[in-house]
Structure 1
């Protein structure tokens, strides 16, 4: 089940976010700083909409959607809605939660009248990146590296808004 984030979800979302990124710890040049950043995922609700995936009242995934006018990093066009911090708890992977959460962000972008939706990702995300490509996202340009890892801006045109 997908639903909107609530303040009481903060600890569970933080747990899932840190668990989801933990496998990449050896690849980031400053893992403690990266882990600190990831653990602040609930703060994304200040300017965006966090969507959670829940199974039997347990949060197993989350993603942040930022609408067309929400503040966002400068490497995105200001009018684009964006997807940030897609995370799935490792024991829940392979069950389609990442795709469902991404599809919900696309639905919200259409709701907001957008003609494009964007995200940034890294080749390190060896499951998420191919999923995004299968869903119709394409690399537009490089984004700034994050703690030693290359990132790129990917976008998807939204037909049938």
Structure 2
């Protein structure tokens, strides 16, 4: 199992590369892949507004996610008081071992640490492994969001009060 730890600035290049690698399988689905790739290739910049969490094995980053707390800058389709998860990514060669679930659970733990009663994320039906995982973890669809480069997305929340 990987080590789960907080992001360090020296992780930036690896985190950004994992983000791109994780989304490359969807290249044909996005209308402007080059612009989308440029945006996701800056995943490490989320450390400026939240907590980036990494999964590391043998000195290599194999997954990452950003936890953005309540009141931090986030897209307008999220309530400002909701903590959210952004950009859950796992390197293609490291998939199928529960790394995504471990990273998602770490974000939920941080939301609970912060006293949140709800936790949110946005994802797409295109994410045919991630979306079912989120649903199994108790996330429920709330509303659609504007498409991202032609791909439909929705907001999902998990009740943490129970």
Structure 2 matches for 1:22-41, cutoff 5 A? 22-41=24-43
1:24-53 Cα shifts (integer Å, max 9, x gaps): 000000000000000010110000100000
* Unmatched tracts of structure 2, length 5 or more: none
SS in 1 for 2:70: coil
1:57-80 Cα shifts (integer Å, max 9, x gaps): 111000000001111100000000
> What is the rounded CA distance, in whole Å, between the counterparts of 1:56 and 1:85 in structure 2?
22
Within the candidate set 116, 119, 135, 1:117 is matched to 119
Q: How many positions carry a matched residue from both structures?
A: 160
TM-score normalised according to structure 1 size: 0.98
4+ long deviations beyond 4 Å = none
Q: Which residue number corresponds to residue 4 of structure 1?
A: 6
SS in 2 for 1:76: coil
SS in 1 for 2:141: strand
> What is the rounded CA distance, in whole Å, between the counterparts of 1:42 and 1:143 in structure 2?
23
> What is the rounded CA distance, in whole Å, between the counterparts of 1:71 and 1:110 in structure 2?
19
> What is the rounded CA distance, in whole Å, between the counterparts of 2:147 and 2:159 in structure 1?
25
- 1:108, distance to aligned residue in structure 2 (A): 0.1
Q: CA RMSD in A?
A: 0.6
* Unmatched tracts of structure 1, length 5 or more: none
TM-score normalised according to structure 2 size: 0.98
